[in-house]
Amino acid sequence: MNSHSISGVCVYIEWYSEAQKLERSKMGSGRHILAIPYPAQGHVIPMLELSLCLAKQGFEITFLNTEYNHRRVMGALAGTERVGDGNIHLVSLPDGMKPGEDRNDLGKLTNTMLQVMPMKLEELMNTIDGLGGRGITCVIADENLGWALEVAEKMRIRRVAFWPAAAALLAMQFRIPKLIEEKLIGSDGTLLKSEEIMLASSVPTTRTESLVWACVGDKETEKILFQVCSRNNKAIEAADWVICNTVYELEAEIFSIAPRILPIGPLLASNRLENSVGHFWPEDSTCLKWLDQQSPRSVIYVAFGSFTVLNNTQFQELASGLEVTGKPFLWVVRPDITEQNPNNVFPLGFQERVKSRGKIVGWAPQQRVLNHPSIACFLSHCGWNSTLESLSNGVPFLCWPYFADQFLNESYICDIWKVGLKLNKDEHGVIKRTEIKEKVEKLLGDDELKQRIQKLKKTVLKSAEKGGGSYKNLNNFINWLKS
């Protein structure tokens, strides 16, 4: 075996012999799970959260990242390869991309992963199998990685698909054969007819041109993504479970349309009374102290997740928008949120002018931020994790979606649950400072909206508490894993 190409495996062997000395008797056979997230921040965090829940139940977990993300997670964790009281071991495999290649190029990343990772995964699993008979007994893979479920099937290992986004999105993917049959799309996913698709009355409608694989902007990538979605649909048929980081009450009708999807969310660190892990950037916790000094429900929290990039004009308009609100704000400015270093893009003198009421960080401990009593609202890109985290804390939204499923989530927030407001673009496609100011004021003055989100917060939290729907589903799932 080439130690260079499968560095994670070698690390694993070293760890294993060390681990043998540790509490070997604690874990029975049949309790070693291989967890494989899709290589993106919004997928790694909830998969690791699920793994931490399982580790608490005594499962041993091997958590497999791509080498690139593994290095980032290790960097943010200050080097420790074990989390969850040592029961989770972080390992890695190469994704097939060269150093410096653009991993935000989804088409390319998908293709190279498909070329390299299934074979490496099989090798990794065989290596683990050879180690004292404590082989992997279950694979939990992100639904987007159908190939990992296929490898598990080939090796006759139990398998579970994990979906970290809205169940409605997966239900739409399940509908692909019907969309082809109805001639809305071709068999390669190309758009044949522009039409509004309604899965159920309490679920946002989706236009055929906004289907998740069809709105990336580059036709070649869209074709690749469509093929992968179709392949994943097949892989999932052979999965033992399809679990989803959502809450029954948020998307109730979806579970009768797609009964295979089991809601187990929200997967939050607060359920374990601990901090969230698996971040690609080190968290700047100084903002929590800063929040302590602000008045209750006064601060606008602004964050766009891990992927969003704003052009310079929009970034400057956002800065000016925050300035003209006159309110305190906490703004996450990721080092890569603009095409050049954001410090060179701020409007002239901005940081100086807002320093008494504006806090800017590179990456925030978001779950703890949203739980802070000083937060008034969340100006968000509407990633699914951010959506669940804000709902769970009763923080209303100002919606600024950017990509893929974020438009569906925005529609859930504003049109269905009615707990947030949309920010509209002007005729040049820019969200102007005046729009930001007006919507902040409108949102903070809307008492009915605030009451609705408080009610929804209770529903969401209740689901994860003892006796709640997600709690019961997760328990049933865990009992199956133990069987």
**Residues within the interface to ligand UDP (CB under 6 A):** 40-42, 45, 279, 303, 305-307, 332, 363-364, 366-367, 383-386, 389
Residue placing its CB nearer to ligand UDP in the complex, 12 or 400: 400
CB of 74 to ligand UDP, least distance (A): 17
Cβ 409 to ligand UDP shortest distance, Å: 9
Query: Measuring CA to CA, which residue among 386, 417, 220, 422 is closest to residue 304?
Result: 386
Q: How large is the angle between the packed helices 312-325 and 433-444, nearest 10 degrees?
A: 40
Ramachandran sector of residue 389 (left: φ over 0; alpha: ψ -120 to 50; beta: rest): alpha
Cα 195 versus chain centre, distance: 28
CB 475 within 8 A of CB 444: no
Least Å from the CB of residue 232 to ligand UDP: 18
Name the residue nearer to ligand UDP (CB basis): 43 or 158: 43
**Contact of 469 with 463, CB cutoff 8 Å:** yes
CB of 266 to ligand UDP, least distance (A): 10
**What are the backbone dihedrals phi and psi of residue 335, each rounded to the nearest 5 degrees, phi first?**
-55, -25
* Least gap, CB of 210 to ligand UDP (angstroms): 17
Residues 6 or more apart whose Cβ sits within 8 Å of residue 120: 5, 6, 93, 94
**What minimum distance in Å lies between the beta carbon of 208 and ligand UDP?**
23
Q: Shortest Cβ distance from residue 385 to ligand UDP (Å)? A: 3
| Identity of the residue, 158 or 279, whose beta carbon is nearer to ligand UDP in the bound complex | 279
Nearer to ligand UDP, 152 or 303 (CB): 303
| Cβ closest to ligand UDP, residue 143 vs residue 150 | 143
Least distance to ligand UDP, CB of residue 269, Å: 9
**Closer of 262 and 269 to ligand UDP (Cβ):** 269
Torsion over CA: 455, 461, 462, 468 (sign): positive
Q: How far apart are CA 387 and CA 161, in angstroms?
A: 21
Pairing between β-strand 196-197 and β-strand 206-207 as defined by DSSP bridges = antiparallel
Does residue 266 have a cis peptide bond before it, meaning omega lies within 30 degrees of 0? Answer: yes
CB of 56 to ligand UDP, least distance (A): 19
Beta carbon of residue 156, minimum distance to ligand UDP (angstroms, whole number): 33
Q: Which is nearer to ligand UDP, 128 or 318 (CB)?
A: 318
Q: Which two tokens stand for residue 436?
A: 């930001």
Nearer to ligand UDP, 185 or 332 (CB): 332
Q: How far is the CB of 470 from ligand UDP (least distance, A)?
A: 17
Q: Name which of 279 and 439 has its Cβ closer to ligand UDP.
A: 279
Tell me whether residue 51 or residue 367 sits nearer to ligand UDP (CB atom): 367
Query: Token pair of 254, please?
Result: 């979806």
Name the residue nearer to ligand UDP (CB basis): 171 or 330. 330
Closer residue to ligand UDP in complex, CB, 76/200: 76
CB 224 → ligand UDP: shortest distance, Å? 19
